[in-house]
Amino acid sequence: MVTLSIDGIGSDALINQLAPDLAIASGSACASGTVESSSVLRAMGVNGAALNGAVRVSFSRHQTDDEVSAVVNRMVAAVQRMRALA
């Protein structure tokens, strides 16, 4: 699992671009299904846009390096599309 925030990109927008094909969500894993930001990130001192834009991408231990690279490429393409529209 990796949690990240991309400057200028809201979590909802990124999730809408990438779901349902990826295991991507906002908030913490233990609060799955809620719209609240991650309490873990808040406890770490993350706030503002970085907190509200954070997404969690989950991976399986069975995924290959090529599959992970494909996820990264899809995320980059989605961010580029959203920035082009802004």
Q: Which of 1, 21, 30, 84 is catalytic?
A: 30
Concatenating the DSSP letter of every residue in 2-28 gives EEE--TT--HHHHHHHHTTTS-EESS-
DSSP string, 63-81: --HHHHHHHHHHHHHHHHH
Residue 32 is classified by DSSP as: T
- Among this protein's residues, is 28 annotated catalytic? no
Task: List active site positions.
Answer: 30
